[in-house]
Amino acid sequence: MDQTGQQIFEFLSQYGYAIMLPLMIIEGPVVTIIASMLASLGAFNVFIVLILSIIGDMTGDVIFYWLGYKYGLGFVKRVGKYIGITESLVLKMEKYFEHHGGKTIFAVKSTTGLCWATFTAAGIVKMDFKKFVKYSFLGGIIWSGFLVAMGYFYGYLWREIQVYIKWIGWVIFGTAIITFVIINIYKSYQSKKMFQENENNE
């Protein structure tokens, strides 16, 4: 590693955790993957990255829960369109809570792409907060654990192969991004499947 690279790693090691947590609250998956790749390269402790990912992810969950709890559909109507939460989607999630309760939080955290709408709906229907946090935490362990493992694996490949091929890091980073996109497409498919199953059970 050259001198500039060493300085960057020293900066990240010293200040990275403080920067990492707020970024994980805003965009947890992407930041978690990048931080895990850097952990594999020696910039961070991978277990601290995992803990911060879970905390950041849950903090975002709680924020949307309380916005739904306090402002109800008014929040969705005024702000939802700017962050991808529609009134119809929240109403569907409310109906889904009637059939599946707390399991919905766990399923959404670990399998689908409906997190913001689901947590807002949980607040609107006044789901028990302790129960909400419990399932958010359990689902977060699976989701964050998966992201950390994926990022660490790609970071490992980067570290091992760059000795022989200098530009391979960019290829691996691009592969990580493509993998993340594929996962989100899969999560979107799972969310549609979840709604169809709910409608068939009514």
Q: Considering the domain boundaries, does residue 1 fall inside one?
A: no
CA of residue 76 relative to chain centroid, distance: 21
SS3 category, 86 = coil
Instruction: Give me the pLDDT at residue 46, please.
Output: 92
Residue 73 lies in a domain: yes
Give the pLDDT of residue 118: 78
Q: Residue 199: its pLDDT value, please? A: 47
| Pair 40, 155: CB distance under 8 Å | yes
Q: What is the chain's pLDDT, residue by residue, as a tens digit (202 residues)?
A: 445 445 555 666 667 888 888 888 887 788 888 888 888 888 889 999 999 999 998 998 899 889 888 887 787 777 776 666 777 767 776 666 666 666 777 777 765 556 777 788 888 878 888 888 888 898 889 889 988 998 898 888 777 666 555 556 566 667 777 776 777 676 666 655 555 554 455 4
Residue 78 forms part of a structural domain: yes
Whether residue 12 is contained in a domain is answered as no
* CA distance to 99, 107, 110, 191, per residue, from 64 (Å): 21, 17, 17, 19
The contacts of residue 51 (CB under 8 Å, 6+ apart) are none
Integer Cα distance of 153 and 126 in angstroms? 40
Range of the domain at 151: 34-201
Q: Is residue 22 part of a domain?
A: no
Q: How many domains is the chain built from?
A: 1
Report pLDDT for 4.
46
Mention every residue, 6+ apart, whose C-beta is less than 8 A from residue 122. Answer: 65, 68, 93, 97, 104, 105, 132
3-state DSSP assignment of residue 166: coil
- How many H-runs (helices) and E-runs (strands) does the chain carry? 9, 0
Does residue 10 lie within any of the structural domains? no
Q: What is the pLDDT of residue 158?
A: 75
